[in-house]
Amino acid sequence: MDISLWKQRIAERQATIGVVGMGYVGLPLLLEFCRKGFKGLGFDILPERCRQLKDGRSYIAHIPDASIRSQVEAGRLDATSDFARVAEADALLICVPTPLTRHREPDLSFIVKTAESIAPHLKTGCLVVLESTTYPGTTAEDLVPILERHGRKVGKDLFVAFSPEREDPGREGHSAPVIPKVVGADDPVSREMAECLYSQVVVKVVPVQGTRTAEAVKLTENIFRSVNIALVNELKVIFTQMGVDVWEVIEAAKTKPFGFMPFYPGPGLGGHCIPIDPFYLTWKAREYDCNTKFIELAGEINSSMPRYVIERLTRALNDRGKPLRGSRILILGMAYKSDVDDDRESPSYQLFELLLAGGAQVAYYDPYIPVIKPSRQHAKLAGRKSIEWAPDLLESFDAALIATAHSQVDYAAVVRHSKLVVDSRNATRNVVEGREKIVMA
């Protein structure tokens, strides 16, 4: 196929870019194409999300309404649950979840269902790019066969690439346009088209030879983080027993201009990537009779952190003559990281459930998570609401457990009004008065 006309449509901003999945990855990506002059068409199975976008309203805390409204009013942004409109797209980017099953095995159902929904409607010459994090082989072995069911051939009638998302929700200075984009395809035309597309909106495109390589890149990035976070979590446990402040150690170590990169301990892993992605590789590795001992050990260490934090809390209560059972505990933060409304895989939910199992009375405060949404993993917590913030209310709790370090919280006031503060995030590092109340976890 002669792709010169397709590339011309891209260059002249006459192409329509479709994005499937209007979540933390898909919506910012769609907005970026719209800002660069493309017509953007968002697809989501939740009609309410589509209605909000068409009305110019955001449902993600770090994306303001104005960013959406300006593109809607300019006629560049539209959203729909009607997958027949896939036929309008010159390029279609898939940004759907890839969770784990209850048995911690890859769940590709969102990718498969998306492929089945778009395949009948793709127009000839369309570029389809999978961005969802997954194991090497997914694009070639799972996505392509579904796209070819209707008699069209990838590399001839349709074109397919993989480009891993690298979104970090809420992190300033790391928006999509300034993050280099890795692109891999299994035929040269698909790779050329994908490079052409992404070069319109990102600072740099990094081409790799095939989809398997591109899929492996994202897993490598997140496994690197998982393993290093596990390392500092293990050091935290060891140094605490020695009476050494692990956070002070890290701050001093990172002054070395080479050979060290700072990672920080916490109450467990959260977000949609780091707690999940390593297990995609461990599962796929079994097919090749390979063990992933290092990755699995990191997973075990990180998964043990919520229990470690609760043990530290329980011991601190005991030292003050209070058992965990019957104590009133306030969890500060349900989001998986500071200053976002993203609670996917947040360790705060495990902390919550461990406290309840220990007989504690538990409440939480999080300005970004006013109500706990229903979920399969933590169904019993659904519907619980954040308390209204009032520092003197802390006096009615036996302990405050800092699980997420939101910057708008006055931690000096938290310490001043609390009987006990268990800090798993080093959020109280600048608090001077009342340090005898603080227990690091």
Distance CA 130, CA 142 (A): 11
Q: What is the pLDDT of residues 363-382, one digit of tens each?
A: 999 999 999 998 888 889 99
Q: Where are the alpha helices (DSSP H) in 163-210?
A: 188-198
The domain spanning residue 244 has which CATH number?
Answer: 3.40.50.720
Residue 334 lies in a domain: yes
Helices (H), 320-385: 347-357
Do 41 and 125 belong together in one domain? yes
The number of beta carbons lying within 10 Å of the beta carbon of residue 283 is 17
Q: Which of 243, 263, 244 is nearest to 253 (CA)?
A: 263
Pairing of the two strands 205-208 and 328-332:
unpaired
Q: How confident is the model at residue 171 (pLDDT cuts 50, 70, 90)?
A: low
pLDDT at position 104:
83
Residues 123 and 197 in one domain: yes
Query: Is residue 217 domain-resident?
Result: no
- 216: in domain: no
Identify whether residues 265 and 356 lie together within a single domain. Answer: yes
Is residue 87 in a domain?
A: yes
Q: What is the mean pLDDT of residues 401-420?
A: 97
Q: Which residues of 64-100 are buried (b: 16+ CB within 10 A; e: fewer)?
A: eeebbbbbbeeebbbbbeebeebebbbbbbbbbbbeb
pLDDT, residue 103, reads 82
Q: Is there a single domain that holds both residue 181 and residue 302? A: no
**Two tokens at 187?**
């035929």
> What is the per-residue pLDDT for 274?
81
Q: Is the pLDDT of residue 173 over 80?
A: no
Position 167 scores a pLDDT of: 76
Average pLDDT on 187-212 reads 96
* pLDDT tens digit sequence for 52-86: 999 999 999 889 999 999 999 999 999 999 999 99
Whether residues 237 and 192 share a domain: the answer is no
Statement to judge: residues 202 and 277 lie in one domain: no
% of the chain with per-residue pLDDT over 70: 98
Match 């993050």 to its residue by tokens.
179
**One domain, residues 151 and 279:** no
Looking at residue 143, the DSSP 8-state letter turns out to be: I
- Would the pLDDT of 170 be above 80? no
Collapsed DSSP state (helix, strand, coil) of residue 48 = helix
Residue 218 lies in a domain: no
Examine the domain organization and report whether 124 and 187 are in the same domain. yes
User: Could you tell me if 202 and 239 lie in one domain?
Assistant: no
Residue 35, SS3? helix
Instruction: Kindly calculate the radius of gyration of the chain based on its CA atoms and give it in whole angstroms.
Output: 24
Concatenated DSSP letters of 264-302: ---SS--SSSTTTHHHHHHHHHHHTT---HHHHHHHHHH
Query: Which one-letter DSSP state was computed for residue 186?
Result: S
Q: Is residue 146 part of a domain?
A: yes
Cα–Cα dist 235/246, whole Å = 7
In terms of residue numbers, what domain contains 55? 4-209
> Terminal CA-to-CA distance of the chain, rounded, Å?
60
Residues 169 and 74 both lie in one domain = yes
In a domain, residue 221? The reply is no
Q: Is residue 35 in some structural domain?
A: yes
Name the domain boundary from 178, 209, 240: 209
Same domain, 154 and 298: no
**Domain tally, the chain:** 2
Identify the CA nearest to 396 among candidates 319, 318, 330.
Answer: 330
Q: Are 80 and 50 in contact (CB under 8 A)?
A: yes
| Residue 123 and residue 159 in one domain | yes
Q: What is the mean pLDDT of residues 310-327?
A: 97
% pLDDT > 90, the chain: 89
- Asked which of 147, 179, 209 is the last residue of a domain, the reply is 209
Mean per-residue pLDDT of the chain: 95
Name the domain boundary from 181, 209, 237. 209
Mean pLDDT of 244-252: 97
pTM: 0.91
**250-292 tens-digit pLDDT:** 999 999 999 999 999 999 988 777 888 888 999 999 999 999 9
Clarify whether 273 is annotated catalytic: yes
